[in-house]
Amino acid sequence: MAISPAEVAHRAASDAERVAWVDDHDQPLGALPRAELRERGLIGRCTFILLFNSAGDLCVHRRTLSKALYPGYWDVAAGGMVGHEESYADSAARELEEELGVSGVALRFHEKFYFDQPGNRLWCAVFSAVWDGALRLQPEEVSEARFIPVEQAELESASRPYCPDSLAALQRYKASQG
């Protein structure tokens, strides 16, 4: 599958975007281009929005091949890096609308946690929302999406590439729900 010129341009703009740079206690240190933050192994802020329908199914989507991290992987959450001087909540609302075309929904905050893997060090805020409308996918970031039972997503993650950071967010969400 080829990467489109629009995806290439989007990736370049994304890599240059200035995002929040924080320390290991989530205290702000400033802003850096996303690519520099990643290359230097520094810590950023990120949001994960678990989108459910009213039947309780979870929206999973496949990332485009142009993504810097986890290209072509399945993802259990919309979301992304928090912009400089942007709140976690504002970032969550923006990312949900950009990636899946969902806006005007109540976002429920669950918790923050630290995720640390080589090339992906993040303070993460987990949100959830319910949506029964149509999805409008951002073609530069999302190649396909579907609602499936949470258990099916967990089973698939054993045999298909799923993003480890969003799976961690899902596990934290499930633990908080009892």
- CA separation, residue 8 to residues 3, 15, 140 (Å): 7, 11, 8
Under the banding of pLDDT at 50, 70 and 90, the label for residue 5 is confident
Is the pLDDT reported for residue 109 higher than 90? yes
Residue 48 has pLDDT above 90, yes or no: yes
pLDDT at 13: 66
DSSP letter string, 90-141: HHHHHHHHHHH---SPPPEEEEEEEEEETTEEEEEEEEEEE--S-----TTT
Summarize the confidence of residues 64-71 as an average pLDDT. 89
Would you state the pLDDT for residue 40? 94
The stretch 13-18 carries a mean pLDDT of 77
CB atoms within 10 A of CB 124: 24
Please choose, from the candidates 111, 113, 47, the residue with its C-alpha nearest in 3D space to the C-alpha of residue 82: 47
Q: What is the pLDDT of residue 17?
A: 85
Average pLDDT of the residues of the chain = 93
Ordered by where they begin, the domains of the chain are: 5-177 (3.90.79.10)
Within 13 Å, how many C-alpha atoms sit on residue 69's CB side? 22
Instruction: Please report the pLDDT score of residue 51 as a whole number.
Output: 98
Percent of the chain with pLDDT over 70: 96
* Full-model pTM: 0.93
